[in-house]
Amino acid sequence: MSIKVLLDTDIGSDIDDAVALAYLLANPECELLGITTVTGEAAKRARLASVLCKAAGKSIPIFPGAEEPLLVAQKQTQAPQAAALEKWPHDEEFPEGEAIGFLQRTIRAHPGEIVLLTIGPLTNIALLFGMDPVIPSLLKGLVMMCGVFSNKASGWGPREWNAMVDPHATGIVYRHSAAVHRSIGLDVTSQVTMDVSEVRRRFQPALLRPVLDFSQVWFRHSDTLVFHDPLAAVTIFHPDVCDYSRGTVEVELASSRLAGALLWTPDEKAGRHEVAFGVDRERFFDHYFSVFK
């Protein structure tokens, strides 16, 4: 049986968003109901998502979302990979100002059936939960590439990009519960890496060709691809690629210097949040590449 998924993404900055979207589009077990984009140049990010949807031969609703954080200044103003857009067919125009309403309508139309996957800052999702607080309870699951959970002991962890870009949005999202509220943090995703030569060798299937092209911008300043967002995506279909613990996550908001840092308190019995603390690297790569023909 397929799993219904909604994707919220800041595709166009780090290359791993495109790597994750390609996986969702290629996976026969994924019914991708829609894509929303977030942070600066949201429309360009929507166009990048459109490139991959067209390459996959799929018509997926795409909505540019919030470009500014709730209260702080935007740290991510541009989508550098948009430089590759002219090489690939894509849609140019998308509905403006409708991303949050689209998410709300879609989730309410499929109660208990949708996994909401977030692989960017959480502004769109905070706006959604604030507008309609019932929405989290209507999700089959909320899976996020977010945070750092360096160990299972309580304590503030270092800040992670998706959590810190809009810390107030992060705080709103973690205060809500879903049937499954799973965080895949930077400390775990950083274990699944591939060097540039291996990426170029393995990204030969047709759907990965645009991703490889987008990645040229990324590889100007890095010789490694870290599969942060794809790992979160794969856990939707193969949760056993990671080990998890349950507990409670709080978000630091009082200090501007630490805003977006997460406090993890283990609680296997009553914890509302499921956090990854380990990954089977080889199993992850097997599952990721198995969907591409």
pLDDT tens column, 66-75? 999 999 999 9
Q: What span, in angstroms and rounded, lies between the C-alpha atoms of 220 and 199?
A: 14
What are the tokens at 138?
């209507």
Q: 35 — phi, psi (to 5°)?
A: -130, 135
* Domain that includes residue 270, residue range: 3-290
Q: What is the mean pLDDT of residues 148-166?
A: 79
Q: For the chain, what percent of residues have pLDDT higher than 90?
A: 89
The mean pLDDT value of the chain amounts to 95
Structure tokens at 260: 């977006």
* Structure confidence at residue 224 (pLDDT): 93
* Position 185 confidence tier, pLDDT thresholds 50, 70, 90: very high
Q: How far apart are CA 252 and CA 200, in angstroms?
A: 40
| 242-251: strand order across its sheet | 62-64, 30-37, 3-9, 114-118, 141-145, 181-184, 273-279, 242-251, 262-266, 155-156
What's the pLDDT band for 62 if we cut at 50, 70, 90? Answer: very high
Above 90 in pLDDT, residue 102?
Answer: yes
> For the chain, how far is it from start to end, CA to CA, in angstroms?
20
Q: Where does the pLDDT of residue 155 fall: very low under 50, low under 70, confident under 90, or very high at 90 and above?
A: low
pLDDT band at residue 257 using 50, 70 and 90 as cut-offs: confident
More confident residue, 264 or 109: 109
Instruction: State how far the Cα of 253 lies from the Cα of 174, in Å rounded to an integer.
Output: 12
How far is it, in rounded angstroms, from Cα 168 to Cα 252? 9
Residue 144 pLDDT greater than 80, yes or no:
yes
Assign 218 a pLDDT band (cuts: 50, 70, 90): confident
3-class DSSP state for residue 77?
A: coil
Of the given ranges (48-57, 144-153, 179-188, 199-208), which has the lowest mean pLDDT?
A: 144-153
DSSP state of 158: P
**Which band of pLDDT confidence, cut at 50, 70 and 90, is reported for residue 152?**
low
What pLDDT is recorded for position 255? 86
Q: Which residues lie across from 274 on neighbouring strands?
A: 182, 246
The number of folded domains in the chain is: 1
CATH number at residue 77: 3.90.245.10
Q: Which residues pair with 64 in a beta bridge?
A: 37
pLDDT at 247: 93
Question: Higher confidence at residue 263 or residue 128?
Answer: 128
Please state the pTM of the whole predicted model: 0.97
Whether the pLDDT of residue 241 is over 70: the answer is yes
> For residue range 13-28, what is the model confidence (pLDDT) as tens digits?
999 999 999 999 999 9
Placement of tokens 């030569």 in the chain: 197
Tokens 């790597």 -> residue: 19
Nearest CA-CA partner of 159 in 151, 170, 145, 148: 148
Residue 143: HSE in the Cβ half-sphere, 13 Å Cα cutoff: 27
Name the DSSP class of 83.
G
Instruction: Give the C-alpha separation, 164 to 260, whole Å.
Output: 4
pLDDT of res. 217: 85
**Quick check: helix, strand or coil at residue 262?**
strand
- pLDDT of amino acid 233: 98
> Is a pLDDT exceeding 90 seen at residue 1?
no
pLDDT the model gives residue 189: 97
Backbone angles phi, psi at 86, to 5 degrees: -65, -15
- Report helix, strand or coil for 167: helix
The pair of three-digit structure tokens given for residue 223, joined into one six-digit string: 């010789």
* pLDDT given at position 157: 65
Residue with the two structure tokens 């060097």: 195
Q: Residue 220: pLDDT band by 50, 70, 90 thresholds?
A: confident
User: Quick one: average pLDDT of 256-282?
Assistant: 93
